[in-house]
Amino acid sequence: MRARLYIRWALVCAASLAMLGALSLGEPLNAVAQAQPTTLGPSSNPLSGNPEAIEQGRKLYFTWCVQCHGPKADGRSRFGEYAKDLRQFSLGYSVFFATVVAGRPAKKMPPWGEYLSPEDIQRIGAYLETLAIAGANWKD
Amino acid sequence: MQRWWNQRRLTSIEQVGRVTILLVIAMLFTVSAALADSSADNIKNCPDQNWCAYHRTTNSAWRYSPLNQINPQNIKQLRPVWMFQPGEVQMGLQSTPLVIDGMMYVSTNPSTVWKLNAATGERIWAYVPKMNDVVVARTLFSHARGLAIGDGRVYMGLADGRVVALDEKDGTVIWEKQLVESKKDTAGFSGSGTFVSSDLLVIGQNGGEYPVEGRVFGLNPKTGEVKWTFYTTGRDDPQALATWGGDSWKYGGGGSWQPGTVDYENNQILLGTGNPNPDYDYCGDKCMDANAKGWRPGLNLYTSSTVALDLNTGKLNWYFQEAPSDPYDYDASPGEYVLLDDGGRKLVLHPGKNGFNHVHDRKTGRPLAVYPDMKNYNWTSGFNIETRQWENMLWPKVGEKTLVCPAIDGGHSWNAGTYNPQTKLFYRVVNEWCMFLTVNPPEGGKVTEGAETRVTEPFAQSFFNAEWMSTDPPNEKTHARLTARDPITGKLAWEKRYDVLPHSALLSTAGGLLFNATYEGFVEALDAKTGEVLWRFNNGSGHNGGIISYAVDGKQYIAVPTGHGSYVGRLIGGTLFKDKLVNYKESSMVVVFALP
């Protein structure tokens, strides 16, 4: 049942991604993110602001995401600046969820739907919201 | 002058005789051409016109071409004659191409093989495997640095843990074996294998960054059957297992991700093993004690070591650890194993990531000379030949920012140097750079690259257990030096400084030339005796692969893999020298040069 639920989630998410495919995820040339904390607007993540979820999300982030997105979630790891700066994730909670589930293998973002439950993805999102800087958007 | 056939009419007998002679000559040429194929004998004794293995030869690793058509007198006439763009730019082009009888074989990322006409660049075939995209996306090592060839087959280890043998003629798969369960281990293959004989192909997996058991495989090249396996963390070897705390050897990494050199005389292959996992441990100056508290306390044999493996059995003949209990990630996989003869002494030289050159008796492994090629090292005061110990080792303390030189990317990186038997000099790029290392406490923390703790289920995650930042050596800027040394004594003949670190494997030739390629885009030819730059050409992109030379129909070529990429390359171009390499982007191309 759980597996079917994930597959259903994955399909829904993949469809959302396809619709959003035309959106550019790129950065302006040589853009430098201003690492100023920001007051985050409303979030669609049901676990947003939940302290327990945030701590669990932090542990999950430092297990599964940190390799590429780096310890500060700014897309910088020892392997360069090649991953998305998650502090300024601007495409909204649904796209975040969909991207984590289905991945973007062409950009070396693996699909995580097989390994992370929907709740775990929500927890990671809740943690990332705490790192938000100007430009971040978790409402969709 | 009149041509000979116009001088007089030939008699019938003379005509028959001359035709016969011509036929015999033609047959001799045909036989000669047929002999210069990829038969095991021709791989072991590489014909001058070919580039038969990653380091050109399997039994010396000199990266020296006996061709001399291109020389200091005519080098200024060298021009590009063809280019090949595979269109796969992810992480650049990190390969060293092979050339057999006018055909080039080159690998691109993540795991594609191309066969090209080496005189024109015309595409003959491409092998593009269907891969598990998820595994390829997860691994840090989705690149192919080279191929092996022999007995009409091209061999490649894939990022998803398979090894394949392709038919040289048409690229069809002859056999395919899943040797590493990459879906679980995440590690796979990225370096080339070594074709030892018609009965043996040796290839190692990567894995030092993953909590897995690293292995080197001896395969039957005809079928892919595993003939033997060497476990780099010591499975079934009491001497090695005693150097690991608890069962940490099961997660000890190691592996061996660059090809070895075959010492046929002693029936062994010499190769380097990767670093133990995690890359950094919190046991500080207690780390060499297997009973200390830590992720992997103990010497961690046989990681970060040179190992000599018996060709028949894969059993260990000798080992030498280049960083005991490796606290710095000075894994010994990178660095070529250069076989040298010195007045009857049979030696092997290994430039290590630790910044030193190591010279051993290749039969016994006895270290005969261990000298620094790098100026700015602080992890040891040196190796004592008498006691056979690294002295005054630096042990980073947990949670404290410690200056460590060289940096994690090595005094010597993975792209190789070259030995020239004419000058009797060994040429190598050595990097002068350091890092600030902060090792994670046992309970984890936010100072980390890679997973915060050891993760093996449902699949392995990279585990470094520290954070580090590149920094300059004390009192000078990060830079590189191309050194030309007597390989045995270490006596410096000349050196050349590079402000931006080059990251290409070198080539030397019988024409008295040394080729290097820079990260700013230039491929350059130097006088091998003096280091004087004689010729330069801007390829328009950085370099991360191996320069080679070969000949087709008597014409000598120089082939240069170009393109930004690789982890060291990204650090050079994307971080350290961003101001000089404006808007650095990854790229990939082969550029081939010849005289007019």
Q: Which residue of B has its CA nearest to A111?
A: B134
Ramachandran assignment for B56, one of left (phi > 0), alpha (psi -120 to 50 degrees), beta (any other): left
Asked if B456 is an interface residue toward chain A (Cβ–Cβ < 8 A), one would say no
* DSSP secondary structure code for residue A34 in this structure: -
**Residue B431 or residue B571, greater confidence:** B431
Residue corresponding to tokens 């000078």: B476
Q: How far is A29 from chain B (nearest CA, A)?
A: 8
User: Side chain identity at B402, as an amino acid letter?
Assistant: T
Share of chain B above pLDDT 90, in %: 85
Q: Is the pLDDT of residue B13 over 60?
A: no
How close, in Å, is residue B510 to chain A by CA atoms? 38
Q: At B585, list the tokens.
A: 């982007």
Q: What is the C-alpha separation between A94 and B52, in angstroms, rounded? A: 53
Q: What is the pLDDT of residues B519-555, one digit of tens each?
A: 999 999 999 999 999 999 999 999 999 999 999 999 9
**pLDDT on residue B448:** 65
With residues binned 3-state (H G I as helix, E B as strand, rest as coil), the percentages for chain A, rounded to 5, are 45, 5, 50
For residue B522, give both structure tokens: 């230039």
The verdict on a CB contact (< 8 Å) between A66 and B453 is no
For A71, the closest of B133, B446, B455 (CB atoms) is B446
User: pLDDT at position A39, please?
Assistant: 61
- Dihedral of alpha carbons A65, A69, A73, A76, sign: positive
Residue with tokens 């082969």: B590
pLDDT tens per residue, range B15-32: 545 545 544 444 444 433
Which of B458, B464, B571 has the CB atom closest to A115's CB atom?
B458
Domain boundaries, chain A: 2-129
Tell me if chain A has a CB within 8 Å of the CB of B142: yes
Mean pLDDT of B267-289: 97
Coil vs helix vs strand at B589: strand
For B98-119, the three-class secondary structure string (H helix, E strand, C coil) is EEECCEEEEEECCCEEEEEECC
| Distances from the Cα of B83 to the Cα of A131, B80, B118, B497, angstroms | 46, 8, 10, 29
Question: Tens digits of per-residue pLDDT, B246-261?
Answer: 999 999 999 999 999 9
What b-and-e string marks burial along B540-570, b requiring 16 or more CB atoms within 10 Å of the CB? ebbbbbbbbbbbbeeebbbbbbbbbbbbbbb
Average pLDDT of the residues in B408-435: 97
Which pair of structure tokens corresponds to residue B283? 């046991």
Nearest to B276 by CA among B266, B290, B260, B264: B290
Q: What is the ipTM of this complex?
A: 0.73
Taking the CA atoms of chain A, what radius of gyration do you get in angstroms?
A: 14
Percent of residues, chain B, with pLDDT higher than 70:
93
How distant is the Cα of A44 from the closest Cα of chain B, in angstroms?
27
- Is the peptide bond prior to A46 cis by the omega test (within 30 degrees of 0)? no
Instruction: Decide if A67 touches B, using CB distance below 8 A.
Output: yes
Beta-carbon contacts below 8 Å between A and B:
66
Q: Which of A67, A77, A101 to substitute to test the interface with B, most B CBs within 10 Å? A: A67
Which of A78, A114, A115, A127 has the highest number of chain B CBs within 10 A, making it the mutation to test binding with B?
A78
Q: Are A138 and A45 in contact (CB under 8 A)?
A: yes
Residue B71 pLDDT class (50, 70, 90 cuts): very high
Residue B439's pLDDT band (cuts 50, 70, 90): very high
B9 touches chain A (CB under 8 A): no
Q: Which two tokens stand for residue B9?
A: 């009419």
CA of B578: which chain A residue's CA is closest? Answer: A30
A81 contact residues in B (CB cutoff 8 A)? 574-575
Asked if the C-beta of B570 comes within 8 angstroms of chain A's C-beta atoms, the answer is: yes
Residue with tokens 């009797």: B424
For residue B452, give the nearest of A30, A63, A115 by CB distance.
Answer: A63
Which chain A residues are closer than 8 Å to B89 by Cβ?
A: none
Contact: B461, A63; criterion CB under 8 Å: yes
Q: Which of B88, B139, B182, B452 to mutate to test the interface with A (most CBs of A within 10 A)?
A: B452
Residue type, A79: F
pLDDT at B173: 98
Q: Using 50, 70 and 90 to split pLDDT, how confident is the model at B14? A: low
Q: Quick one: which H or E segment has residue B134?
A: helix B133-138
pLDDT at A62 over 60: yes
Question: Is the full-model pTM beyond 0.95?
Answer: no
CA distance B495 to B255: 33
Token output for B422:
């004419």
Q: Shortest CA distance to B243 belongs to which of B298, B316, B319? A: B298
| Tokens read off for B150 | 């022999």
Give the number of other Cβ atoms within 10 Å of residue B460's Cβ. 25
Are A30 and B458 within 8 A, CB to CB?
Answer: no
Any residues with CB less than 8 A from the CB of B6 and at least 6 apart, and which? none
Determine the pLDDT at residue A108.
81
Distance CA A112, CA A122 (A): 13
Neighbours of B216 (CB within 10 A): 24
Between B4 and A48, residue with greater pLDDT: A48
Q: Which residue of B has its CA nearest to A58?
A: B446
Cβ burial of B52 (10 Å; 0-12, 13-18, 19+) is: buried
Mean pLDDT of all residues in A127-140: 91
The C-alpha atoms of residue B509 and residue B514 are separated, in whole angstroms, by 7
Does A139 contact chain B (CB < 8 Å)? Answer: no
- The answer, yes or no, to whether residue A13 has pLDDT greater than 50, is no
Confidence (pLDDT) at B565: 87
Sign of the torsion formed by the C-alpha atoms of B43, B46, B49 and B55: positive
Residues of A with Cβ-Cβ distance to B449 under 8 angstroms = 66-67, 70-71, 77-78
Rounded Cα distance between B500 and B495, Å, is 15
Instruction: Please tell me the predicted confidence (pLDDT) of residue B574.
Output: 83
Shortest CA gap A57–chain B (Å): 13
Helix, strand, coil content of chain B in percent (nearest 5): 10, 35, 55
Report the mean per-residue pLDDT for chain B.
Answer: 93
* Digit-coded pLDDT (tens) for B487-509: 999 999 999 999 999 999 999 99
pLDDT of residue B436 exceeding 80, the answer is: yes
Which of B456-460, B568-572, B589-593 is predicted least confidently? B568-572
* Length of chain A (residues): 140
Taking the C-alpha atoms of residue B573 and residue B582, their distance in angstroms, rounded to an integer, is 9
Q: What is the pLDDT of residue A106?
A: 77
Distance CA A94, CA B61 (A): 54
Mean pLDDT of the region A52-68: 92
CATH number for the domain running over A2-129: 1.10.760.10
